[in-house]
Amino acid sequence: MASSSESRDDARRVGDRVGQRVGVWTVAAAAIALLGAAGGPSSHRTTPKPAPVTDPGAYQARLLSLVNDERVHHGLRRFTPIGCAADLATHWAEQIARDGTLRHQPMKKLLQACQASRAAENIAMGNVPPERIVASWMESRRHRENILDPRLTHVGLAAELSDRGRWYAVLDFIER
């Protein structure tokens, strides 16, 4: 019996907005081999795949840790979490996960709620680990600029797992 494999594409769109301008949308697709079956017993063992993160708090903590690692690596201070931005990020992540869409919230809300002089937002969607989301942001010029902008010092972060098993992440940045 011949071996067979099954693969699935997981397309993730990532977008950002600075102020009221819409940034660049990046579409990334990754084919993932789901299983390979041989006709008889196998003499090799496979390493079990780690269980996916399903706890929003753990997912968010990992995203923030990875983003802050990038800042430190580039000689910048870690972001300071701020409640006003976290509240808006949470509301927005819940909304886009519920709707199944990836779109930005108006930055005016963030500027006003946080009494900020500058605001930016990175968003992402996908059935991927936090490491892949941050890697995608760092590969995108506009997202990378948001993460590494020394004027943006405070963040609000949220991640919501949709009923379809996709993560929706919102990272709101502000300058105060």
In this structure, how many other beta carbons lie within 10 angstroms of the beta carbon of residue 83?
11
Angle subtended at Cα 159 by Cα 124 and Cα 98, rounded to the nearest 5 degrees: 80
Residue 12: pLDDT over 70: no
The DSSP symbol for 165 reads: S
* pLDDT of the residue at 30: 24
* pLDDT of the residue at 48: 53
Task: Locate the DSSP E strands across 23-79.
Answer: 26-37
d(CA 65, CA 79): 10
Measured in whole angstroms, the distance separating CA 24 from the mean position of its chain's CA atoms is: 15
* Category of 75 on φ-ψ map: left (φ > 0), alpha (ψ -120 to 50) or beta: left
pTM for the model stands at: 0.72
Residues 6+ apart with CB under 8 A from 57: none
The DSSP symbol for 151 reads: T
For 27-34, what is the mean pLDDT? Answer: 23
For 54-64, what is the mean pLDDT? Answer: 93
d(CA 106, CA 116): 14
